[in-house]
């Protein structure tokens, strides 16, 4: 049971740390928490055979919003720091991530984030990528250390972007070659920034650098292929791609979530290792959270949580009744109602 | 449902169902006939008709009727005359097809005439004296001109003939008149002389006087009794009697002379009258020929209808053949699929009847298949997953029924394991298991489909799944079974896209375990205890587990699976497997104590399925999802829908053989069609080549021979072949002429009524001087005529005309010598011998030959030659340019005896000839 006080405590602690940066202590904590949590986690995961659906903890909305806002705040801070050419401070982020991972909040947070209004703000995007990556990471059964690394790398994935001039990012025109080059440079900018954190964080810098690499060698900056790309980079890369597709950009409208998934499993299939893609589909599901669907009864409903065993039968919340009336928000688990099924995917929720 | 008999409606259904075949064959035949028409070119032909009226016979009065053979020709003869060589040659000259200076034997002329004659036909209009001259040509103007020219030529020919004949008649009358006049003068003179000499002024008076005197003397004798005077009186009486007698004699003579003179006079006057008549007739225009209707310019080609007829024939025959094939295919396909027949073999319950692929392949615009029809894989997938892609199709409906009946029979058990097998490959068991699984999944039942047919894994292909660990790997322990499970997530990684997934619900309830890595000992794996454990494991997770088992007759897997599973279903496709195989499969399973729960008939023709009484007997349990849908529409019977495209892939198994029956039909059909085609082509070719080329070359060789033979002087005594020849030669052979006597006082004649045929002055020109061509080239000898003929053929192909000659060498038997040519001297022969370059050829002095006749006309010559050849003689020709004639010979002999023998033979065959020194 997670208590609210815990969160407050953690937050308070992190706040303290931030005021008096002590990188050495940070690392000790990091290492400590690492080994500690690894053990405890291990015993939890061990019997996969039975694999009962992870006992769904009752997660309070307050907990979720708290973490979400905290992450958003960290992202904004980082953005400012990068723009001002100040060193980034991973410790605070790590603290948040630790809390999320330990409490298994990645998925509810991801669901929460997906329900937010799509925003092309960089910080929102960063948070989305972090949460999506973490969700995939849990699907890949990463241990806590990997999860933290994944989250951290996802968080810093696009710090290079903050240095890109506003006008280029906001441009709805086709970018010139030079501008394209500037954008593509952001991977290396991030790499340089993160290298400044020291040799301990070299993996972070390298991962961040490879986010835009693709398995088929079509990515940048180095155009490396297949196994040369760190796995974490692929996970973050696929998340980044997905999150970018489902949000509006100055130069294009967002894409339907199901279509984005379809794209990634189809044309995008060769850009990422198939293991990652599979996990992606499994976790994000074929009908991702917040997709508005029409049931075979004619009822319009919104997907509120996916079912990994029955990707086509998620839990939905009714929006409109079959006759157009607006019933009370009723939650239906389609997997338990075999006679109900999704007849049609309508679109993203904002139209409603 | 099936009374064994087919009514008309069924036949129509059959044809309708296979109308593609009908359309196809019709199209093919239409195409072929069109190709033929185009190939032959088929120029438009125009025909012009010129009608002429002819009198059947022209009478020249009773006198000539008796004196001459029929003057006017019969209509038939006229037809022949019109198409005769001379008239056509004349027409050809008038049409300036050949230079007007070309003489009769010009080979070019002969060729042109030959070509032209083919275009001309002469027909008598029934029961009239009207002849229609029809000319057919590609050029309408030419046809018209030629028809009119020919009519004109015939008309002028008739005039000439008329004039010529009348001239002859007049000449004859004049001659006759001369004779008669002379005779009359003679007889009159004689009469006058006689009466003068005998002083015969008046016979009556003289005889009266004598009779008076006789009476006087007799009276005197009666009155006088004096003996002496009596004596004298008696003498006087005798004298008177004598005088009377002599007068009587003179009178007879007188009368005779008088009669002769009178008759001669009558003759003369008669002849003069006739002469007048003939002169008048000559002055008249001959009535013989009259152009009734000149040929008009033809505007409509006559053969357009031919083209149409050919095309229509093509279409009709194609259509009929198509219907025939469709019926055969229909009856064939039907007879084996009747569930009743299965009922005779076994009493295992038939749980389901699945229609053949075509019936659900014919779904226009099914969701998810749009734009994928061209992709054969997608099409195959569509067929294999018909319950998913076309949940309302007849096939899907049948699968749903099958699912329901299985569910109902297996009420008690919680987890159901179903094994699907068949007697042999290609019966569609994989498809059945896939669709069965899909139907369970659609009902929200957690279903696992296991590809336990290890030798022939197909699921990866059907669902387009990435190859990965599968059943073999699980059984070998190299992979936990949960890792091998493929879900809808894996499907969307392949060609089944999201939109495909969304067509029907429930795909996420279906999990699949592939066959896995192919192992050589894969059969043993099924037998292992690990398999048992595996089944127990998955039973905990899934409500329904479906095994796609390898065929019964191929492995024992099915037996083992049958033991482990609750339900064993046997798929039977009558088109792919014989009933014997089914029987064997059943007995094999029953032998090991396995209970077959049901039979599933696959690929049954839809008309059987739709009238399937089975559905009535089944406890009806409408599908839940269907009910939820609130869709009350009946499942679409796709069999009744028009075919929009065909999918032939029913069974995705790669080794699936073409259904036997279909194969057989094709086996028969393809050669039949090929043979028809070939025959057609051959007929076509022959028709095309034969008339034009074959004859042409023949003619050329003949002309050559004639040219080669060199100068010949011929003499003709009797040119009389058979009657046929004479008739055919109407224009050439001279009409028998009236007798011309140079010494009129020589012969005394009764009134003339017979005419003898003697050679005319014209014929004398053809005289053949003997001994002009004594030399021939001897090419060789053969024992039989067949071999000799063969040799002649071979020589003629080399362009050397030769002729066999039969010689009787007594002890050595009969031999056939082959000679070539006829030469005036040794040198000419030598030159030619060097030219022809035939081995062992030598020059012989063949003096004797049978002379048949001489001809001026090339055409006639050829006709006669043909005639002789028909009678198995071998004529040859020697040309004579001094008088433009050809002498026709047969045989060439060193001795006169040999020639005489041949002459006799010819004579026996009705050919007049004589032995000459050549």
Q: Burial of A163 by CB count in 10 Å (0-12 exposed, 13-18 middle, 19+ buried)?
A: middle
Q: Verify whether the Cβ–Cβ distance A338 to B509 is below 8 Å.
A: yes
Q: How does residue B120 score in pLDDT terms, banded at 50, 70 and 90? A: confident
Q: How does residue B636 score in pLDDT terms, banded at 50, 70 and 90? A: very low
Residue B605 has what pLDDT? 66
**Mutation choice for A interface testing from B489, B624, B629 by most A CBs within 10 A:** B489
Residue B342 has what pLDDT? 76
pLDDT tens digit string along A166-179? 777 777 777 778 88
Name the nearest CA neighbour of A329 among A350, A349, A308, A300: A300
Q: Of A178 and B370, which is predicted with more confidence?
A: A178
Q: Verify whether the Cβ–Cβ distance A312 to B488 is below 8 Å.
A: yes
* CB hemisphere CA count around A88 (13 angstroms): 33
Q: Verify whether the Cβ–Cβ distance B502 to A313 is below 8 Å.
A: no
Q: Report CA B94 to chain centroid distance, whole Å.
A: 36
Residue B448 has what pLDDT? 92
- Nearest chain A residue (CA) to B500: A262
Residue B55 has what pLDDT? 65
Q: Report CA B830 to chain centroid distance, whole Å.
A: 48
Question: Which of A66-75, A186-195, B138-147, B648-657 comes out lowest in average pLDDT?
Answer: B648-657
**Mutation choice for A interface testing from B467, B543, B628, B631 by most A CBs within 10 A:** B628
Residue B661 has pLDDT above 80, yes or no: no
Separation of alpha carbons B135 and B782, rounded Å: 48
Q: Is B466 on the interface with A (CB under 8 A)?
A: yes
Looking at B42-121, list the stretches that DSSP marks H as alpha helix, in order from N- to C-terminal side: 61-67, 75-82, 85-94, 107-119
Q: Of B363 and A70, which is predicted with more confidence?
A: A70
Residue A326 has what pLDDT? 63
Cβ-based contacts under 8 A for chains A and B: 71
Q: How far is A250 from chain B (nearest CA, A)?
A: 28
Q: Is the Cα torsion angle B789, B795, B799, B800 positive or negative in sign?
A: negative
The highest-confidence range among A283-287, B656-660, B664-668, by mean pLDDT, is A283-287
pLDDT tens digit string along B47-99? 888 888 876 555 554 445 444 444 455 777 777 888 888 888 888 888 877 77
Q: Is B493 on the interface with A (CB under 8 A)?
A: yes
With beta carbons under 8 A apart, name residues in chain B contacting A51.
Answer: 482
- Nearest chain B residue (CA) to A280: B489
- The predicted model gives B158-167 an average pLDDT of 82
Task: Please tell me which of the candidates A281, A297, A339 has its beta carbon nearest to residue B492.
Answer: A281
* CB hemisphere CA count around A223 (13 angstroms): 1
pLDDT tens digits in sequence order for chain A, 352 residues long:
444 444 444 444 444 444 443 444 444 444 434 433 333 333 344 444 444 445 555 677 888 899 999 999 988 888 888 888 888 888 888 888 998 888 888 888 898 888 887 777 888 899 999 999 999 999 999 988 899 999 999 988 888 888 887 777 777 777 778 888 887 888 888 888 888 887 888 888 888 888 888 988 888 888 888 888 889 999 999 999 999 888 888 778 888 888 888 888 888 888 899 889 989 988 888 888 888 888 888 888 888 888 888 888 889 888 877 665 666 678 888 888 878 888 888 875 554 4
Q: Is B107 on the interface with A (CB under 8 A)?
A: no
Residue B747 has what pLDDT? 41
Residue A178 has what pLDDT? 82
Residue B572 has pLDDT above 50, yes or no: yes
Task: Please tell me which of the candidates B489, B508, B629 has its beta carbon nearest to residue A313.
Answer: B508
Residue A135 has what pLDDT? 92
The highest-confidence range among B569-573, B724-728, B888-892, B904-908, by mean pLDDT, is B569-573
Q: Which value, to the nearest 10 degrees, does the dihedral of the CA atoms of residues B658, B664, B667, B670 take?
A: -90
- Give the orientation angle of helix B304-335 with respect to helix B19-40, to 10 degrees: 150
Residue B435 has pLDDT above 50, yes or no: yes
* CB hemisphere CA count around B393 (13 angstroms): 32
Separation of alpha carbons B34 and B40, rounded Å: 10
Q: Is B777 on the interface with A (CB under 8 A)?
A: no
b/e A235-274 (16+ beta carbons within 10 angstroms → b): bbbbbbbbbbbbbeeeeeebbbbbbbbbbbbbebbebbbe
Percent share of chain B, pLDDT over 70? 74
- The predicted model gives B866-882 an average pLDDT of 76
Residue B315 has pLDDT above 90, yes or no: no
- The predicted model gives B338-353 an average pLDDT of 77
Are B526 and B561 within 8 A, CB to CB?
yes
Residue A13 has what pLDDT? 43
pLDDT tens digit string along B752-781? 333 333 333 333 345 566 777 788 888 888
Q: Is A229 on the interface with B (CB under 8 A)?
A: no
Q: Which value, to the nearest 10 degrees, does the dihedral of the CA atoms of residues B474, B478, B483, B489 take?
A: -90
Residue A130 has what pLDDT? 92
- The predicted model gives B232-244 an average pLDDT of 83
Task: Please tell me which of the candidates B492, B506, B509 has its beta carbon nearest to residue A265.
Answer: B492
Residue B911 has pLDDT above 70, yes or no: yes
pTM of the model as a whole = 0.51
Q: Of A297 and B329, which is predicted with more confidence?
A: A297
Q: Is A123 on the interface with B (CB under 8 A)?
A: no
Residue B614 has what pLDDT? 41
Task: Please tell me which of the candidates B444, B497, B507 has its beta carbon nearest to residue A338.
Answer: B444
Q: Of B194 and B703, which is predicted with more confidence?
A: B194
Q: Of B819 and B75, which is predicted with more confidence?
A: B819
Q: Is A295 on the interface with B (CB under 8 A)?
A: no
Task: Please tell me which of the candidates A311, A313, A344 has its beta carbon nearest to residue B489.
Answer: A311
Mean pLDDT score of chain B, rounded to an integer?
73
Question: Which of A13-27, B529-543, B815-829 comes out lowest in average pLDDT?
Answer: A13-27
- Nearest chain B residue (CA) to A295: B629
- The predicted model gives B329-334 an average pLDDT of 64
Percent share of chain B, pLDDT over 90? 2
- The predicted model gives B136-159 an average pLDDT of 84
Percent share of chain A, pLDDT over 90? 10
Question: Which of A95-109, B142-156, B200-214 comes out lowest in average pLDDT?
Answer: B200-214
Q: Is A299 on the interface with B (CB under 8 A)?
A: no
Residue B608 has what pLDDT? 61
- The predicted model gives B205-224 an average pLDDT of 81
Q: What is the 3-state secondary structure (H, E, C) of B247-314?
A: HHHHHHHHHHHHHHHHHHHHHHHHHHHHHHHHHHHHHCCCCCEEEEECCCCCCCCCCHHHHHHHHHHH
């Amino acid at each position: 049971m997670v208590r609210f006080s815990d969160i407050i405590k953690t937050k308070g602690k992190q706040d303290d740390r931030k005021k008096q940066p002590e990188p050495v202590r940070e690392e000790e904590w990091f290492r400590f928490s690492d080994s500690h949590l690894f053990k405890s986690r291990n015993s939890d995961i061990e019997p996969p055979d039975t694999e009962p659906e992870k006992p769904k903890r009752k997660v309070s909305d307050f907990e979720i919003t708290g973490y979400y806002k905290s992450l958003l705040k960290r992202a904004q801070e980082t953005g400012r720091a990068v723009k001002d050419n100040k060193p980034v401070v991973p410790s605070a982020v790590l603290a948040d991530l630790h809390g999320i991972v330990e409490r298994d909040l990645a998925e509810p947070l991801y669901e929460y984030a997906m329900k937010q209004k799509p925003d092309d703000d960089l910080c929102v995007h960063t948070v989305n990528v972090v949460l999506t990556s973490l969700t995939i990471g849990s699907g890949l059964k990463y241990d806590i250390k990997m999860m933290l690394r994944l989250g951290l790398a996802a968080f810093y994935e696009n710090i290079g972007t903050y240095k890109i001039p506003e006008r280029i990012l906001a441009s709805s025109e086709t970018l010139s070659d030079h501008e394209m080059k500037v954008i593509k440079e952001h991977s290396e900018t991030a790499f340089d920034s993160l290298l400044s954190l020291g040799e301990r964080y070299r993996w972070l810098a390298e991962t961040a650098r490879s986010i835009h690499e693709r398995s088929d060698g079509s990515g940048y900056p180095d155009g490396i292929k297949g196994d040369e790309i760190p796995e974490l980079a692929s996970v973050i890369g696929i998340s980044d791609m997905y999150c970018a597709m489902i949000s509006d950009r100055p130069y294009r409208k967002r894409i339907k979530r199901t279509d984005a998934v379809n794209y990634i499993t189809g044309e995008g299939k060769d850009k990422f290792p198939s293991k990652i893609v599979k996990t992606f589909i499994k976790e994000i599901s074929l009908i991702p959270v917040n997709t508005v669907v029409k049931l075979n009864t004619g009822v319009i409903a919104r997907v509120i949580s996916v079912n990994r065993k029955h990707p086509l039968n998620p839990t939905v919340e009714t929006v409109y009744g079959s006759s157009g009336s607006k019933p009370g928000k009723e939650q239906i688990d389609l997997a338990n109602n075999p006679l109900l099924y999704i007849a049609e995917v309508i679109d993203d929720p904002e139209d409603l | 449902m099936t009374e064994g008999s087919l009514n008309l409606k069924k036949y129509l259904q059959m044809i309708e169902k296979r109308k593609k075949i009908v359309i196809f064959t019709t199209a093919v035949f239409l195409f072929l006939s069109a190709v033929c028409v185009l190939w032959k070119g088929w120029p438009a032909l125009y025909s012009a008709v010129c009608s002429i009226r002819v009198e059947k016979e022209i009478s020249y009065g009773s006198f000539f009727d008796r004196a001459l053979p029929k003057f006017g020709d019969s209509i038939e003869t006229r037809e022949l005359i019109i198409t005769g060589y001379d008239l056509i040659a004349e027409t050809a000259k008038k049409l300036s097809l050949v230079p007007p200076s070309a003489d009769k034997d010009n080979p070019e002329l002969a060729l042109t005439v030959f070509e032209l004659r083919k275009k001309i036909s002469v027909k008598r209009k029934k029961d009239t004296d009207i002849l229609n001259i029809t000319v057919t040509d590609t050029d309408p103007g030419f046809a018209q001109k030629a028809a009119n020219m020919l009519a004109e030529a015939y008309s002028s020919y008739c005039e000439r003939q008329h004039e010529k004949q009348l001239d002859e008649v007049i000449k004859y009358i004049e001659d006759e008149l001369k004779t008669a006049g002379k005779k009359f003068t003679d007889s009159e003179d004689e009469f006058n002389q006689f009466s003068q000499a005998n002083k015969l002024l008046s016979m009556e008076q003289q005889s009266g006087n004598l009779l008076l005197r006789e009476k006087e003397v007799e009276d005197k004798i009666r009155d006088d009794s004096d003996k002496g005077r009596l004596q004298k009186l008696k003498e006087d009486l005798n004298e008177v009697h004598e005088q009377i007698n002599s007068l009587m004699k003179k009178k007879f003579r007188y009368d005779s002379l008088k009669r002769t003179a009178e008759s001669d006079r009558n003759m003369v006057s008669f002849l003069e009258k006739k002469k007048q008549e003939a002169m008048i007739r000559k002055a008249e225009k001959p009535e013989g020929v009259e152009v009734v209707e000149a040929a008009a310019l033809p505007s409509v080609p006559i053969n357009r209808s031919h083209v149409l007829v050919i095309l229509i024939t093509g279409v009709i025959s194609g259509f009929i053949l198509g219907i025939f094939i469709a019926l055969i295919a229909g009856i064939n396909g039907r007879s084996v699929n009747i569930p009743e027949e299965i009922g005779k073999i076994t009493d295992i319950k038939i749980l389901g009847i699945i229609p053949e692929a075509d019936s659900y392949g014919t779904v226009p615009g099914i969701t998810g298949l749009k734009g994928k029809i061209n992709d054969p894989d997608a099409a195959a997938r569509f067929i294999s997953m018909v319950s998913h892609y076309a949940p309302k199709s007849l096939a899907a409906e049948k699968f749903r029924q099958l699912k329901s009946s299985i569910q109902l029979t297996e009420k008690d058990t919680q987890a159901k394991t179903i094994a699907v097998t068949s007697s042999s490959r290609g019966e569609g068991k994989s498809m059945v298991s896939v669709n069965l699984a899909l139907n369970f999944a659609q009902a929200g039942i957690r279903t696992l489909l296991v590809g336990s047919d290890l030798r022939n894994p197909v699921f990866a292909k059907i669902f387009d799944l990435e190859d990965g660990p599968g059943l073999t790997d699980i059984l070998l322990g190299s992979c936990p079974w949960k890792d091998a499970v493929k879900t809808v997530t894996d499907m969307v990684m392949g060609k089944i896209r999201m939109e495909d997934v969304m067509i029907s619900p429930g795909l996420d309830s279906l999990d699949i375990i592939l066959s896995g890595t192919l192992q050589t000992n894969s059969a043993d794996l099924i037998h292992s205890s690990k398999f048992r454990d595996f089944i127990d494991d998955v039973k905990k997770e899934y409500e329904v587990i479906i095994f796609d088992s390898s065929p019964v007759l191929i492995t024992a897997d099915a037996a083992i699976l049958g033991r482990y599973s609750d339900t064993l279903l046997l798929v039977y496709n009558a088109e792919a497997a014989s009933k014997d195989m089914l029987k064997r499969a059943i007995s094999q399973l029953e032998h090991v104590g396995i209970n077959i729960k049901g039979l599933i008939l696959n690929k049954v023709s839809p008309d059987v399925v739709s009238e399937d009484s089975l559905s009535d007997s089944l406890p009806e349990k409408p599908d839940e999802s269907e009910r939820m849908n609130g869709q009350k529409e009946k499942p679409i019977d796709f069999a009744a829908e028009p075919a929009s495209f065909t999918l032939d892939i029913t069974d995705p198994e790669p080794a699936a053989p073409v259904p036997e029956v279909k194969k057989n039909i094709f086996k028969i059909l393809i050669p039949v069609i090929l043979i028809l085609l070939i025959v057609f082509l051959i007929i076509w070719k022959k028709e095309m080549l034969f008339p034009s080329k074959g004859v042409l070359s023949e003619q050329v060789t003949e002309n050559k021979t004639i040219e080669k033979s060199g100068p010949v002087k011929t003499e003709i005594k009797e040119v009389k072949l058979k009657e046929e020849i004479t008739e055919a030669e109407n224009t050439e052979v001279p009409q028998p002429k009236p007798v011309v006597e140079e010494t009129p006082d020589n012969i005394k004649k009764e009134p003339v009524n017979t005419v003898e045929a003697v050679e005319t002055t014209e014929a004398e020109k053809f005289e053949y001087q003997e001994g002009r061509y004594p030399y021939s080239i001897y090419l060789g000898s053969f024992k039989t005529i067949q071999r000799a003929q063969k040799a002649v053929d071979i020589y003629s192909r080399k362009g050397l005309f030769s002729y066999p000659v039969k010689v009787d060498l007594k002890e050595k038997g009969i031999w056939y010598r082959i000679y070539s040519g006829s030469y005036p001297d040794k040198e000419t022969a030598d030159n030619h011998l060097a030219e022809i370059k035939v081995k062992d050829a030598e020059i012989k002095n063949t003096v004797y030959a049978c002379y048949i006749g001489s001809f001026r006309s090339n055409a006639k010559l050829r006709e006669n030659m043909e005639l002789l050849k028909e009678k198995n003689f071998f004529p040859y020709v020697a040309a004579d340019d001094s008088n433009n004639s050809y002498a026709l010979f047969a045989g060439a002999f060193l001795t006169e005896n040999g020639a005489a023998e041949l002459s006799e033979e010819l004579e026996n065959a009705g050919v007049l000839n004589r032995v000459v020194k050549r």
